[in-house]
């Protein structure tokens, strides 16, 4: 077994990718702190902290707890996230705001709390968990995709700004991974009540849910994260998950958008 003494914080470590990643890094010898909004027992060598990324005081308290115990913070993995299902037209501003509160401003809060520590250390790495949905729009997940596109922009920028302080900033972009994300997806209130998109939404959501639940094991993403942390010069982007989805990211870059959109709409059983 490799041994490391680096101190890691992973937000949203109570299930799915965050839990698998936290356990995997703990097995590799990292000192791992995971977070959950609720009380969550320590498990698999991971110390769990109660922290809601939508609450700046809770974020700051969580990081202070780690510093008091370890005296340093080497790695932050901004993983906590969720998504609404529903057409863009049927997503309220409150629902959009709630999505951004966790998926974007949550990342920003944790970065703002961790960066002074990493700057003082002259070293650190932040891994922001985006999504393949941060690289391409996906029907009925518009605000989720928008939040992940925002994480992409924030990360590209932050990476340049903190390089001179010895800090790396990286994007981990999972494709479909089998987690509780599917079951936890909320449907927007208007989508649940209206008939406008109902049939198409149901058909597309079935396909999305089936793809997610037939997706890769979270351990695949955990291993990609471990590779990032072992790298001396981590790249900006690491996709992880089913091979055909990683291929889609590449294909999107090289084919005309009309063709890519046609394939995507076929895949999501969308009427034209």
Ligand X SMILES: NC(=O)c1ccc[n+]([C@@H]2O[C@H](COP(=O)([O-])OP(=O)(O)OC[C@H]3O[C@@H](n4cnc5c(N)ncnc54)[C@H](OP(=O)(O)O)[C@@H]3O)[C@@H](O)[C@H]2O)c1
Residues with a known catalytic role: 14, 130, 144, 148
* Options 51-59, 158-166, 192-200, 226-234: segment touching ligand X (CB under 6 A): 51-59
Phi then psi for residue 167, to 5 deg, are: -110, 130
Instruction: Output the smallest distance, CB 112 to ligand X, in A.
Output: 15
Closer to ligand X by Cβ: residue 98 or 269 = 98
According to CB under 6 A, which one of 23, 52, 87, 99 is a site residue for ligand X? 52
Phi then psi for residue 129, to 5 deg, are: -85, 110
Instruction: Output the smallest distance, CB 243 to ligand X, in A.
Output: 15
Instruction: Output the smallest distance, CB 109 to ligand X, in A.
Output: 10
* Options 22-30, 69-77, 177-185, 248-256: segment touching ligand X (CB under 6 A): 177-185
Residues 6+ apart with CB under 8 A from 28: 1, 2, 4, 226
| DSSP helix, strand, coil percent of the chain (3-state; round to 5) | 55, 15, 30
Q: Which of 248, 245, 272, 246 lies closest to 260 in space, CA to CA?
A: 248
Residues of this chain, 183-202, that bind ligand X according to CB under 6 A: 184
Q: What length does the chain have?
A: 272
Closer to ligand X by Cβ: residue 138 or 191 = 138
Closer to ligand X by Cβ: residue 123 or 128 = 128
* 212 lies in the binding site for ligand X (CB under 6 A): yes
Residues 6+ apart with CB under 8 A from 271: 200
According to CB under 6 A, which one of 72, 82, 198, 261 is a site residue for ligand X? 82
Element (H, E) at 78: strand 75-78
Contact indicator for 137, 145 with CB cutoff of 8 Å: yes
Instruction: Output the smallest distance, CB 122 to ligand X, in A.
Output: 28
Instruction: Output the smallest distance, CB 230 to ligand X, in A.
Output: 21
Q: Which of 171, 166, 133 lies closest to 153 in space, CA to CA?
A: 171
Closer to ligand X by Cβ: residue 119 or 207 = 207
* 208 lies in the binding site for ligand X (CB under 6 A): no
Strand 186-187 with 84-85, pairing: parallel
Sort 131 into a burial class: Cβ within 10 Å, 0-12 / 13-18 / 19+: buried
* Options 41-49, 62-70, 73-81, 187-195: segment touching ligand X (CB under 6 A): 73-81
According to CB under 6 A, which one of 24, 28, 30, 36 is a site residue for ligand X? 36
For ligand X, the binding residues (CB under 6 A) are: 11-18, 35-38, 52-54, 79-82, 102, 106, 129, 131, 174, 176-177, 179-181, 184, 212, 215
């Amino acid at each position: 077994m490799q041994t490391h003494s680096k101190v890691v914080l992973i937000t949203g470590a109570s299930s799915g990718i965050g839990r698998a990643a936290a356990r995997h890094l703990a097995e590799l010898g990292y000192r791992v702190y995971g977070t959950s909004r609720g009380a969550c027992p320590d498990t698999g060598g991971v110390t769990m902290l109660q922290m809601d990324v939508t609450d700046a005081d809770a974020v700051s308290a969580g990081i202070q707890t780690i510093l008091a115990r370890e005296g340093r913070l080497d790695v932050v993995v901004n993983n906590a996230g969720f998504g609404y299902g529903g057409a863009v037209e049927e997503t309220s501003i409150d629902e959009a705001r709630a999505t951004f509160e966790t998926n974007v401003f949550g990342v920003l809060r944790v970065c703002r709390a961790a960066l002074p520590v990493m700057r003082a250390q002259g070293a650190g790495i932040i891994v922001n968990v985006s999504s393949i949905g941060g690289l391409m729009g996906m029907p009925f997940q518009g605000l989720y995709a928008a939040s992940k596109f925002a994480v992409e922009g924030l990360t590209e920028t932050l990476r340049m700004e903190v390089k001179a302080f010895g800090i790396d900033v990286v994007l981990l972009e999972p494709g479909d991974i089998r987690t509780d994300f599917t079951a936890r997806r909320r449907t927007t209130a208007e989508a649940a009540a209206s008939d406008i998109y109902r049939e198409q939404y149901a058909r597309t959501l079935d396909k999305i849910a089936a793809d997610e639940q037939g997706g890769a094991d979270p351990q695949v993403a955990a291993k990609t994260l471990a590779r990032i942390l072992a790298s001396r010069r981590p790249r900006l982007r690491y996709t992880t998950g089913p091979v055909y989805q990683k291929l889609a990211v590449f294909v999107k870059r090289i084919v005309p958008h009309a063709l890519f959109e046609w394939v995507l709409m076929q895949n999501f059983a969308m009427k034209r």
